[in-house]
Amino acid sequence: MIETDGGGGGGGEGSGLEMTPETMRRLGYRVVDALVERWSGLREDRAWSGGSRAELEPLLREDPPASGRDAEEVIERALDEVLSRAGRIDHPRFFAFIPSSPTWPSVLADFLAAGFNVFQGTWLESAGPSQVELVVLEWFRRWLDLPEAAGGLLTSGGSAANLVALVAARERAEGSGRPAVYLSDEGHTSLERAARIAGVETEGIRTVGTDARFRLEPGSLDEKLRADRASGWRPLAVCASAGATNTGAVDPLCEVARVCRDHGVWFHVDAAYGGFAVLTDRGRSALEGIGLADSVTLDPHKWLFQPYEAGCVLLRDPRGLDEAFRVLPEYLQDTELGLQEVNFANRGVQLSRSFRALKIWMSVQTFGLSAFREAVGRGIDLALTAEERIRSSASLELLSPASLGIVCFRYRPRGEDRDEDSLEELNVRVQARINEDGFAMMSSTRLAGRYSLRLCILNYRSRRDDVLATLERVEAVGAELAGG
């Protein structure tokens, strides 16, 4: 069923994995059409779709077929049976977790990177792509106000970026004692996991208290570092959030930087989704001090509108990466070129790496930076719009104000005196109903013990109407379920 090229000019040696240019083109166009159709209909589509394993296994579990199947049918099956059964993270009303809404040139860039199969591990194997990665990293460095010598690499995401930063910090940490890292109780779990991977015991993950706005308290940090040093801990790094996942809270970066300097401890900022807020004036002011960090994590696949996967870590002194990660086995001896020719495989966890910089480069070139600024600003605006709407509602209660793109709230029936358990039970049902309807997708969290609904608005497609209609739906569904 597959039209192979029968070996072309090579004497009948054609492989069964080849296709004719005509077939390739036809299948390629089919995929383009399918994606354009999906994107054009996204707003009218459900924000979420899924299925249990019991439903999906009979449909999809099978041995690999011995002989091939029609390539177009395989594509249709992927579309109908697999890709349709997933959350639409880029839907304009997908407000759950941390959404991601890539641009079309970014998606085409991922297609190009796969089609050229770039090996972005060494300069020898990918000179042009490595240069583009340097260019993109330089953009980020300047956006964050890091010193000129700063540098880093793109990663699979924030988790790998946090891991790279913590390992580099560990290698630089002086003294002896049991290793410890510091983060607020709102810090991202990927930091905790990275610390565990890097050999920090559970007890060495030291939690620092937050204030009423969920921001790390520099005073508590200072005390904890002092006490811990005295009792034999070896602080590897302090991890501040520039955009906590729960609430969007930004830790007081300047003050945390000062405490770190006083104690001679590595200052890491996890700005995975929040970092790109620096493209706007409001975000820049909220993230003041980020340029003082020893390392910063960014996730272009979050608020820079790139498809999965694209994370980034930047270090004030990137030599720390080489010290921690450099490898040069004999089978890579050819890849040692000049000092200027960066081998990105020496800077992190991965040796084989795909060309992640291309999507950032192509999308910023195509739309221009001002369109990105405007799109990030839109998220900040819409979160404020949601906050206002919640404040003015008789049946919605604000649990944490808009910060960057996030607002937390709950449904609370007017004039009723419900206890916390009853409110939680009601809000769980409200959330489930809205998600199952498919109109919008929200996630929940827990703030100071209280079950909270949470909107995270980072999508360039989201409009005022999307936000307002979703809140209206919460009120309506809440009233219906509370009355029942």
Contact call for residue 127 and a copy of itself (CB under 8 A): yes
Cα–Cα distance list, 324 to 174, 198, 201, 239 (Å) = 14, 12, 20, 19
Binder to a copy of itself among 135, 149, 227, 469 (CB under 8 A)?
Answer: 135
Beta strands 151-155 and 266-270: pairing type?
A: unpaired
Binder to a copy of itself among 141, 151, 156, 180 (CB under 8 A)?
Answer: 156
Contact call for residue 172 and a copy of itself (CB under 8 A): no
Binder to a copy of itself among 317, 463, 476, 479 (CB under 8 A)?
Answer: 463
Contact call for residue 2 and a copy of itself (CB under 8 A): yes
In angstroms, rounded to a whole number, what is the distance separating the alpha carbons of residues 34 and 352? 30
Contact call for residue 305 and a copy of itself (CB under 8 A): yes
User: Candidates 202-210, 219-227, 349-357, 390-398 — which segment interacts with a copy of itself by CB under 8 A?
Assistant: 349-357
| CB of residue 350 to a copy of itself, shortest distance in Å | 5
Binder to a copy of itself among 223, 282, 425, 444 (CB under 8 A)?
Answer: 444
Contact call for residue 75 and a copy of itself (CB under 8 A): yes
Contact 14, 8 (CB under 8 A): yes
Closest CA to 395 of 483, 476, 484, 481: 476
| CB of residue 396 to a copy of itself, shortest distance in Å | 19
| CB of residue 52 to a copy of itself, shortest distance in Å | 7
| CB of residue 256 to a copy of itself, shortest distance in Å | 21
Contact 136, 106 (CB under 8 A): no
φ/ψ of 43, rounded to 5, equals: -60, -35
Contact call for residue 139 and a copy of itself (CB under 8 A): yes
| CB of residue 257 to a copy of itself, shortest distance in Å | 25
Interface positions, 392-421, toward a copy of itself (CB under 8 A): none
Binder to a copy of itself among 47, 101, 146, 477 (CB under 8 A)?
Answer: 101
Amino acid residing at 41: G
Contact 46, 438 (CB under 8 A): yes
Contact call for residue 84 and a copy of itself (CB under 8 A): yes
Contact call for residue 429 and a copy of itself (CB under 8 A): no
Per-residue interface string for the shown chain with a copy of itself, residues 174-213, x marking contact by CB under 8 A: --------------xxx-xxx-xxxx--------------
| CB of residue 481 to a copy of itself, shortest distance in Å | 18
User: Candidates 97-105, 204-212, 220-228, 284-292 — which segment interacts with a copy of itself by CB under 8 A?
Assistant: 97-105
Nearer to a copy of itself, 22 or 417 (CB): 22
Interface positions, 32-51, toward a copy of itself (CB under 8 A): 32-36, 38-40, 43, 49-51
Exposed e or buried b per residue across 234-271, where buried means at least 16 C-beta atoms within 10 angstroms of its C-beta:
bbbbbbbbbbbbbbbbbbbbebbbbbbeebebbbbbbb
Nearer to a copy of itself, 261 or 326 (CB): 326
Contact call for residue 468 and a copy of itself (CB under 8 A): no
In angstroms, rounded to a whole number, what is the distance separating the alpha carbons of residues 439 and 149? 47
Contact call for residue 241 and a copy of itself (CB under 8 A): no
Binder to a copy of itself among 3, 6, 76, 82 (CB under 8 A)?
Answer: 82
**Ramachandran quadrant class, 142 (left: phi over 0; alpha: psi -120 to 50; beta: rest):** alpha
| CB of residue 58 to a copy of itself, shortest distance in Å | 10
